[in-house]
Structure 1
């Protein structure tokens, strides 16, 4: 969010300084570890309607945002494939009915398509020998998160944004600097103290995720693929050059230690059941990070105005849907900065919390 906003503001002629306690490679950020799947229908099974609506809004916006960058970013919109083993057929049926229910509730979602072995062989031949049926979710997409972070970095340089890497700052201190008209806080889990107050119960926490990056030239998956399983449903996100990001785990913890043996074994054994070519894959990286998550598991923007201080905008709580919904959050934030209100947030249901001086008024729009 920080890089997206800095680029958008600079494109509009604003003078922008960006402070980041990490380096320009974004190491140590949840954004670098993410799989960056753009799948509002698939995620509708486990998230709220507001997040689904934001995901639908964001898909076409990603195309526009990427087209404005001078450095190419891998983006595809070839849908999502849902697979399951025979013993998990009942779980798959429940999953399918849940998706169909959500589509009836939201007409902007495309109905899942039940496909047989013949169609599966046509659209995803590499898994057709092991699976005789699947669900296909049209219109869903993905991008390469690391390419995007680099492309945004190059754009920041091109636009002359002053980037202060490896510098940790307190937004409240920046507000005292008369140089700035406004300060935007996009620190993720680094902003815990700013989201903890007696006036608000919507506190911030970290939710641990673990992913494995594989180089698997024998595997030729064409689109993000999810495996239904009652205990460890996994996702496989194919990137360019035979790279695959595999993940599933979600742990209520802000622990950033290395991946557990159990998680590694479950992820690798599950991915092997999808395609035997993963047996000869090379493990490039086992990574962990914590997703910034508010108590209600929904994103929120807070605005704070105080006399004598620069205006403060806090953006947080994108949770496991950061890439899927960030263009919607970006559009809402830009409207707020330009006009003081946001029709996008109102239409999508994104929570905007206006804070004035020492009093707080919740305005959920």
Structure 2
């Protein structure tokens, strides 16, 4: 599942069974380590930010709001995901059909601004495939149901997506099938509960609790996101589609079985209350403006969650004390960058250094730090 590593330890405790916690648990087990996984919630990851996500793997598209370092992580991860998924005990949907960017005529100036940003990203990160401009015929060739509705668009080739909930379930099934793992549900733990290396204690503790780690990492904040899952048999989209809009750029991510994840809103708040009527109406209206088949869709779920975010909106790895590593701050890019962060952490655990980290402009702190 990961790069071949020779670990200098044979036991680890992982705190948090969200995306990073599960990925690291599986990878450590496959490297020959005994793992105990502690999670405040249950096996369905109901409290994890990863459960409420579109799981788009779109580094060029995300460069509208993300720096080059995150774009490089996302590009690296696109090639890693198939290998990671192939090693799991259950399947998970994954595709790389690109991202389609569309806009209505009145938003052409905003689309032109976005295209300039993406072009600059291509100059800074030249390994990315170049975006392609599309006319109505080009759009229709990719998405026949949209060709009459939009006159212009962009294709961001080779970008991808996966089914977040199927992946979380596949990671869980892999852990459940291993005799080297003990799973502790509804069992919250903090780093203060462990003394790594002492008799009867794990040799390493890895904290992947997201916002749950805020008492030990007080710079963390929550950034609220809202998504709507709908079942729309009358809508056919082959790839994630983004709608340019000056106020609420929208994404529509098609999942298996005619399910679509629609999202846009991002609010600087750790408010976990249900979505507002206003944001729900805006999301659904924008989706309908992309494809009229959404009018007859059935709303399966309207979900909110807060993404764990650090002040610079970048992921971080640090060591608050010997034997304890904290991984956090994946923000809105969790699925897009998780394999890159996974491999950085595995390098650090194996040798204390990471060549990948410098490639991603990360400077993991392996000296004791203050919160």
Q: What band does the TM-score fall into relative to the shorter chain?
A: over 0.9
Q: Any idea what SS the aligned residue of 2:366 has?
A: strand
Q: Indicate conservation of the 8 Å contact 2:63/2:71, yes or no.
A: yes
- 1:1-365 equivalences under 5 Å are 1-160=20-179, 161-175=181-195, 178=199, 179-196=201-218, 203-306=219-322, 311-356=323-368
The residue number in structure 1 matching 2:12 is: none
Which range moved further: 75-84 or 100-109? 100-109
Which range moved further: 114-123 or 315-324? 114-123
Shift of 1:355: 2.7
Unpaired stretches in structure 1, ≥5 consecutive residues:
197-202, 361-365
Shift of 1:297: 0.4
Shift of 1:284: 0.2
Shift of 1:354: 2.3
Q: Indicate conservation of the 8 Å contact 1:80/1:226, yes or no.
A: yes
CA–CA distance in structure 1, aligned partners of residues 260 and 362 of structure 2: 32
Unpaired stretches in structure 2, ≥5 consecutive residues:
1-19
CA–CA distance in structure 1, aligned partners of residues 283 and 129 of structure 2: 29
Over the residues paired in the alignment, what is the CA RMSD in angstroms? 1.3
CA–CA distance in structure 2, aligned partners of residues 118 and 288 of structure 1: 37
Spell out, residue by residue over 1:144-165, the C-alpha distance to the aligned partner (whole angstroms, 9 max, x if none).
0000000000000112211101
Spell out, residue by residue over 1:276-323, the C-alpha distance to the aligned partner (whole angstroms, 9 max, x if none).
0000000000000000000110000002344xxxx1000000000000
Q: Indicate conservation of the 8 Å contact 1:216/1:278, yes or no.
A: yes
Shift of 1:110: 1.5
Shift of 1:93: 0.8
The residue number in structure 2 matching 1:199 is: none
Spell out, residue by residue over 1:123-173, the C-alpha distance to the aligned partner (whole angstroms, 9 max, x if none).
111111211221000010000000000000000011221110111112211
Spell out, residue by residue over 1:223-260, the C-alpha distance to the aligned partner (whole angstroms, 9 max, x if none).
00000000111000100000000000010100101111
Q: Indicate conservation of the 8 Å contact 2:190/2:213, yes or no.
A: no
